[in-house]
Structure 1
Amino acid sequence: MKFPSAPVAPCRPVTLSAHGDERSDPYFWLRDDEREDPEVLAYLHAENDYTAAVMAPQKPLMRQLYREMRRRQPSEESSLPWTLRGYVYQRHYDKGAEFARYTRHPLAAPQDSVTFFDGDERAGEAEYYELAGFEISPDNRYLLVSEDWQGRREYQLQVCDLTTGQWLTDTLPRCGGDPLWDRQSQGFYYTRLHPDTLQPQQLYWHRLGQDPAADVLLFTLKDDTFYLSLDESRSGELLFINLQSTLSSEVWWLPREPDPQPGVARCFLDAVTGHEYQLDHFADHFYLRSNQEGANFALYRCHISDNRHWETLVPPSDEVLLQQFELFTAGLMLEVRVQGLTRLRQLTLSGELRHEVKFDDPAYVCWLGFNPDPGCSLVRYGYSSLTTPTSTLALDLQSGAQTLLKRQRVRGGFCSEWYQSCRLMLTARDGAQVPVSLVWRRDCFAPEANPLLVQGYGAYGLSEEPDFSAERLSLLDRGFVIALAHVRGGEELGRHWYEQGRGHHKLNTFYDFIDVTRGLLASGWGDPQRVFAYGGSAGGLLVGAVLNMAPELYCGAIAAVPFVDVLTTMQDPSLPLTTGEYDEWGNPQRADDYFYIRQYSPYDNVSHQAYPHLLVVSALHDSQVQYWEPAKWVARLRTHCSHDALLLLAMDMHTGHGGKAGRYHYLHDVALEYAFLLRLADNPGAATEKKR
């Protein structure tokens, strides 16, 4: 079949100079901060038209994939109920609904259940809608919502009077998504965003019914290398202002009272480079998770009147990473990671171990669930594996008994026994043992014969979790083996695993992914002619770097919202996230950081070689990875690729970093990605795009 010619982006070279080094960027003109330039928009539309034309033969397959993925989801579903201040709440998905509907009723009167928020009704005909969260006022009267209609994480705050169902005139645009009520329900705390970087910059208190211009400014972030967020203490008495950078933390606190005055916030402990801590408050004590005495964190407590004397509850360990803790009247719950897998531990409030929750699956993840009442005796937690749908269980803090409360329903004849998973350790070039989680369908596997999809992320200390995906079944049922490469840059093996994939050790992330791919092929886990790579955001950077370093390994790749123009972006402090990520990637104002990033920045290292087939997925309103990065990358790849490779860009013109919203809508994107992979898996050697 003859395809139309790919769009040609005009070359208008701009020379970028730093530290005696010059780079030429022929597609710098594609950057339009306002997203209004007719030429830029026309080019992006042309890319979308080209992608649609090339993928047109796969339209029946895309429709089939969409239908089967949608069919696996229950048409109607309700969450487990939860209780908060005398009311029982529940989330529902009605038949055909994209967004959730929320109900509540008094604890003693289930017959009085009412819908207090309908997501489909709020979204209306909008191209994009996200409910970031909602907060019920302490007197149970008001609903405070954070909503986004564009995908740029600029949230609008609004308040509904639940006694009348009327929305108040209080409307606050360009806010953070984590507002909190004061304890008397007279108003709420919220953050305002910086107009350029879109990062939370200032903390205000707003009185209901008051002009926002009169809101009280309580705190201003003065160091833009930190990210500001809000949280309430477990006791409900305090508001925490969390300042977090890559390598340090600072927490301020103040009572959650109405009419707060400027200067009332108090700093628990000043930021020190290398010291990260997380703070909570319960029963007149501060509890804190800190890496002051060990990289994998320890747990301490001190009286609220004296933050200098810390009592050690859980000492640091070289083998156990302390990821999270939660406080209950009946004890402490810890989320820890041991040898790459998560476990839950129950302790007394003074630190004695009572119980440990662990599982037998070779690759799984478990996590503390939503437990809004610290006085409850049944603690909910989640569990999922590559072959087991997401489950919610309860742990009895008194007896240690565990109960399955709910398991994700997968329709369409799913049986977990049809699938198998395992966990391997593969050797990287420097001798490091890299964990890999694999899943496949038993009756489809044959050594060295299956298409192999290798996924990775490897940044920010975020672990690639081996959890269940109902969408993934569409690839497994068609013979794919899927491998999650737990490369350095995540925290799968502890804090040191992150440190070895950050800053001037970043190349380890890419080497690990390449070496894992080679190790899997050497062990017979896939057909060498049908190997694919996948990564999103910082994982898209991983894919971009790997394709420059070892393009011959892969038949094709998918890069979603990929961070590929690393060097130029990190030189621009006006962009969201840049200043807060100097410790992650490096600050190019420093020569040593500049030249290290220069080695791997995917856009800058595109060269004349045979690249694999590539689908790049992005979004015009992405505030995390600007749309022009993937657009420029695809344009440059087309001029350098030395053979007939399919290089596609799919630019969503209505959404942001998270892609399409809604229960079903996002499945269209998944169907496109899977159809791309399946097309290549069926005919890996087909020429698909002619060089000009």
Structure 2
Amino acid sequence: MTPDSPPSLRQVPHERTFHGDTVNDEYFWLIDKDDPQTTAYLEAENTWTERATEHLADLRDTVFQEIKGRTQETDLSVPSRKGAYWYYTRTVEGKQYGIHCRVPVRPGQDDPPMGDDRPGEEVLLDGNELAEGKNFFALGTFDVSPDGTRLAYSTDFDGDERFTLRVKDLTTGEILPDEVTDTHYGSAWSADGSALFYITVDEAWRPCRVWRHAVGQAGVDDVLVFEEPDERFWVGVELSRSEKFIVIDANSKITSEVRVIPSDEPAAEPVVVTPREQGVEYSIEHHGHRFLILHNKNAEDFALAYTSADSPGEWVELIPHTPGTRLESVDAFARHIVISQRRDGLTGLRVMGDGSTDSYDMEFPEPLYSVGLTSNPEYDTTSVRIGYTSMVTPESVYDVDLVTRTMTLRKRKPVLGGYNPDDYEQFRDWASAGDGTRVPISIVARKGTPRDGSAPALLYGYGSYEYSVDPYFSISRLSLLDRGVVFAIAHVRGGGEMGRRWYEEGKLLAKKNTFTDFVACAETLVRHGWTSAARLVARGGSAGGLLMGAITNLAPEAFAGIVAEVPFVDPLNSILDPNLPLTVTEWEEWGNPIESSEVYAYMKAYSPYENVEKLQYPRILAMTSLNDTRVLYHEPAKWIARLRAVAPEGDYLLKTEMGAGHAGPSGRYDSWKEEAFILSWVLDVLGLA
């Protein structure tokens, strides 16, 4: 029977005391995933959400068909050359997942094979076959050995990001007996393909161990190559582009350490490039006789140096620190270096020739855009592949000749149904935060959208981990724009859009800047005539979901609706529990409220769950997943329950994917359906349903 009111939730006293402060967390029991009452409650919430949105069924189907109708379902990525093959992924109409393929490079073939004529196509892995009969499917590793004869791949069928690693013999098509369970993302092959390096996690889901597996040698135990005991650090492993070194990196939020192993000596002991120094971050890239080192030692926005690859030691400066120009990554090729950077809120690429300090910046025509390197597996090349997009330009792939500087467009993502970028406009606006900081806003709207405050709008934000939400194109967004909705991105502090200081001013004891920046952006959209508070919806996910929860308490009158996806809305209780996944590694991002009473009080003052009051909240849609290991499902479940108990006049919905993880449904059609669900709810809040 369909309920006529939202489900009620029992309250069980559960007190915690820190720094003399005793708090009752009456919904703490929801953390028990195996409790039948937990499952029953989540399913009851799903039933209520279905009931409360059943009037949107036709609109949901319409939006889904719009997304599907604008997408070229049978498609092909631009093939990337590696050795004797072109590698690519293709999709087929009606199938949920990509098919990973390769074809041999034909004599004299310099351009990627983009048409239907791809003789000798070899299917390496078909995600649809792997996912058959499963509700969820994700790949963690997809790694072809240097000689092209073996494929390491790992699969997750639950969404909890714990993968099973397997090896396929590409000469015979046979799946080898080698199988390793409970692995993490990342892998690296030895030069001859005899050894495979992989990562496992501890009980708190922290990737902390690197192992070496002897492929095809039954009975030979895997060897522990490196273990990171410091719970603040995560570990990764990869093969350098030059294929000369296995690179093992250990990173906390603010400190790094890198080890290397010659790929032709896989049993050798790892060598530390530079010992860790608290507060110093660095990464390496092998380039001939040297390791390039991107670092922030006495360089807030990072600088580039190098050291000997044969005997790592003293650093020699290559690109000095320039305040305001954030160097984000470096990619080395046989005769060139490409530096990914950002300045004035925009991404960019700088090219430097080998053995020279001369450099040039690639130039792009639009005032707002995002650009970066994409798949570039070849080391010995004078051409690189880049991805480019803007709020009105679909994802575009270019090959750039680093010598002549010519750019060749290989593909622009098709948008079916007659999409014309000239029908839309993108803008950069600026909000003024309470402390006078200017906060950039990226805006896109259909031409002719009124600027008198009458238009509906959706404002998106994130603002954590120095992650930047740069201008991007979205097919699903067209379903909003074509209905007159303005779409905007608030580039708030805590992200990395304006450099390292932008991040530093939105973390730890400055975290509230993230929230007040977002509210300032919302108020600016209203003041500048883009929309009105009564027609403005906010959206964010994960740490951006914390942002959504915080602004509902901070300025509920500024928004008509809130979409919070896998939201981190109970941060204080989570960060107080070092046994939960990721907690200890997060202390350098949020602070340690266990040891510091100041951090405790600060976090309690902004935590959405701790600060629910009897207010008139905007309408709220919270989306979560039962198997999420990054933001546990119980956080939004507790938040919605407390909202209903404390401020019962509001309209709050909780939707839980019962067989997915942090990223939600895994298949593309399922993802489109979920997006159509969210967008139809947004349109309903905006009065456009």
Using structure 2 for the length normalisation, give the TM-score: 0.96
Aligned partner (choices 362, 365, 372) of residue 367 of structure 1: 372
Query: Which residue pairs with 1:20 in the alignment?
Result: 20
Query: What residue in structure 1 maps to residue 506 of structure 2?
Result: 501
Moved more, 311-320 or 484-493: 311-320
Of residues 552-561 and 325-334 in structure 1, the stretch that sits farther from structure 2 once superposed is 325-334
- Identify if the C-alpha distance between structure 1 residues 190 and 13 changes in structure 2 by more than 3 Å, giving closer, same or farther: same
CA contact (8 A) 1:438 1:481 kept: yes
Partner Cα distance (2:144, 2:363) in 1: 34
SS at 2:411's partner residue? strand
Say which of 433, 439, 455 aligns to 2:444. Answer: 439
Say if 2:204 is the partner of 1:197. yes
Aligned to 2:457: 452
The answer to whether residue 279 in structure 2 is matched with residue 274 in structure 1 is yes
Q: Counterpart amino acid of 2:205?
A: L
Question: How do residues 492-641 of structure 1 correspond to structure 2 at under 5 angstroms?
Answer: 492-589=497-594, 590-641=596-647
**CA spacing shift, 1:202–1:537, aligned 2, 3 Å:** same
**For 1:177, what is the secondary structure of its paired residue?**
strand
- For 2:339 and 2:634, locate their aligned partners in 1 and report how far apart those are by CA, in whole Å: 42
Residue 384 (str. 1) matches residue 382 (str. 2): no
The residue number in structure 1 matching 2:75 is 77
Corresponding position of 1:218: 225
Residue aligned with 2:66, SS: helix
Contact 2:445–2:487 (Cα < 8 Å) also in 1: yes
| Equivalent residue for 1:332, pick from 320, 334, 337 | 337
Note the alpha carbon deviations across 1:580-610, whole angstroms, 9 max, x for none.
1101001111211111111101111111111
Query: Of residues 36, 55, 58 in structure 2, which corresponds to 1:57?
Result: 55
Confirm or deny that 1:10 pairs with 2:10.
yes
CA distance in 1, matches of 2:623, 2:306: 46
* Residues 532 and 559 of structure 1: CA distance in aligned 2, closer, same or farther (over 3 Å): same
Distance (Å, rounded) in 2 between the aligned partners of 1:275 and 1:411: 48
Aligned AA (1:206):
H
2:146·2:243 contact (CA, 8 Å) conserved in 1? no
Cα offset, 1:405, TM superposition: 1.1
Q: Which residue pairs with 1:687 in the alignment?
A: none
Which secondary structure does the structure 1 equivalent of 2:609 belong to? Answer: coil
Q: Which of 159, 166, 169 is 1:158 aligned to?
A: 166
- State how 1:172-211 maps to structure 2 within 5 Å: 172-194=180-202, 196-211=203-218
TM-score normalised according to structure 1 size: 0.96
Name stretches of at least 5 consecutive residues in structure 2 with no aligned partner: 108-117
Question: CA offset at residue 253 of structure 1?
Answer: 1.3
The answer to whether the 8 A contact 1:389-1:469 is kept is yes
Residue 41 of structure 1: SS of its match in structure 2? helix
Equivalent pair of 2:383/2:400 in contact (CA under 8 Å): yes
CA contact (8 A) 1:252 1:268 kept: yes
The one-letter code of the counterpart of 1:404 is L
Match of 1:690 in 2: none
CA shift for structure 1 position 642: 5.4
Does the 8 A contact of 2:545 with 2:566 survive in 1? yes
For 1:210 and 1:431, the matched residues in 2 are separated by: 64
Is 1:247 the counterpart of 2:254? The answer is: yes
- Equivalent residue for 1:316? 321
- What secondary structure is seen at the aligned counterpart in 2 of 1:582? helix
Aligned position for 1:167: 175
Contact 1:344 1:356 in 2 (8 A): yes
Q: Which residue of 2 aligns with 1:286?
A: 291
Counterpart Cα distance in 1 of 2:343 and 2:153? 38
Partners of 1:494 and 1:566 lie apart in 2 by: 25
Deviations, residues 173-193 of structure 1 (Å, cap 9, x unaligned): 100121111111112001112
SS of structure 1 residue aligned to 2:673: helix
Are the equivalent residues in 2 in contact too, given 1:184–1:258 (CA < 8 A)? Answer: no
Change (3 A) 1:381 1:516: same
Task: Kindly state the Cα deviation for residue 140 of structure 1 after the two structures are TM-superposed.
Answer: 1.8
Checking the alignment, whether the CA contact within 8 Å between 2:546 and 2:568 is kept in structure 1 is yes
Residue 677 of structure 2 corresponds to 672
**How many residues matched?**
677
Sort the Cα spacing of 1:19 and 1:667 in 2 relative to 1 into closer, same or farther, 3 A.
Answer: same
8 A contact 2:348–2:371 mirrored in 1: yes
Mapped to 2, the partners of 1:466 and 1:259 lie a distance apart of 42
- The separation in 2 between residues aligned to 1:530 and 1:611, in whole angstroms, is 14
Opposite residue 68 of structure 1, the aligned amino acid is E
Tell me which residue corresponds to 2:110: none
- Once residues 554 and 226 of structure 2 are traced to their aligned partners in structure 1, the CA distance between those partners, rounded to angstroms, is 46
The answer for unaligned runs of 5 or more in structure 1 is 685-692
**CA separation in 2, counterparts of 1:456 and 1:558?**
11
Deviation at residue 554 of structure 1 after TM alignment: 0.8
- Distance in structure 2 (CA, Å) of the matches to 1:73 and 1:305: 50
Work out the CA distance in 2 between the residues paired with 1:343 and 1:354: 13
Root-mean-square deviation (Å): 1.5
In structure 2, the residue corresponding to 1:392 is in which secondary structure? strand
SS in 1 for 2:670: coil
Counterpart AA for 2:644: R
Displacement of 1:164 = 1.8
Q: Is the 8 A contact 1:233 1:282 kept in 2?
A: no
Aligned mates of 1:255, 1:212 — CA distance in 2: 25
- What are the residue-to-residue correspondences of 1:79-118 with 2, within 5 Å? 79-108=77-106, 111-118=119-126
Pick aligned residue for 1:462 from 442, 464, 467: 467
SS in 2 for 1:214: coil
SS at match of 1:533: strand
The aligned residue for residue 135 of structure 2 is 127
